[in-house]
Structure 1
Amino acid sequence: MTKQEMMHRTRQFAIENAKLVLSVPLNVVNKNYCGQLARSASSTGANYRAACRAKSTPDFINKLKIVEEELDESMFFLELLVELNPDLKEKITPIYREANELLSIIVSSINTSRANKS
């Protein structure tokens, strides 16, 4: 997968999460979880873009570690939202699946970068 394809996927991930957030019923718990999800999902794309501009391999790995954390956080809030809003499971499942795929790609990239650094 190219850098441009990953930039597109992480951007699309942020957009899909934003659309989800807009569709979630408003209450105090959903509002908090949706706010966290919107931040972590958009941070995924922003930090991947930053990783693409890394100055060195260690800088690249550090930035990808942030992407990894933001994806994991997004998955956590998606899990909470589906638990508290089971009627949204059909909407949330493909977004969660994409988060998991992106996470696998990022972890693999981190491992490859570490191996090539040695």
Structure 2
Amino acid sequence: MKEELKKRTKAFAVSIIEMTETLPRKNSTFPITNQIIRSSTSIGANYRAPLRGRSKAEFIAKLGVVVEESDETLYWLEIIAKSNS
């Protein structure tokens, strides 16, 4: 399961990067593109940290960062969808 999620979070980040390459090059898309790339790639990077946690409390705390980054990525995807970018 751990290895599967590592693969899936990496694939998700790559798919977001590829998707952002298809967005129109406008002033309004630059900050959104930057933010969504940062948050989506952070999901996988931060998922790896809890796997090295020294305690259950540390695991839970570090996994919380993954949830936050996932939620931020969802926010940016919603903005893109609503703005028809």
TM-score (norm 2): 0.95
What SS does structure 2 have at the residue aligned with 1:74? helix
Q: 1:17 and 1:59 mapped to 2: Cα distance?
A: 28
Q: Which protein is richer in helix relative to its size?
A: 1
In structure 2, the gaps of 5 or more residues are: none
Q: Which has the higher contact order (CA 8 A, sep 6+)?
A: 2
In structure 1, the gaps of 5 or more residues are: 87-118
How far does residue 29 in structure 1 lie from its aligned partner after superposition?
1.4
User: After TM superposition, where is structure 1 displaced by more than 6 Å over at least 4 residues in a row?
Assistant: none
1:82 corresponding residue in structure 2: 81
TM-score (norm 1): 0.69
| Cα RMSD, aligned residues only | 1.0
How far does residue 83 in structure 1 lie from its aligned partner after superposition?
1.1
How far does residue 51 in structure 1 lie from its aligned partner after superposition?
1.3
Q: How many residues align?
A: 85
Identity in percent: 36
How far does residue 10 in structure 1 lie from its aligned partner after superposition?
0.7
2:8 corresponding residue in structure 1: 9
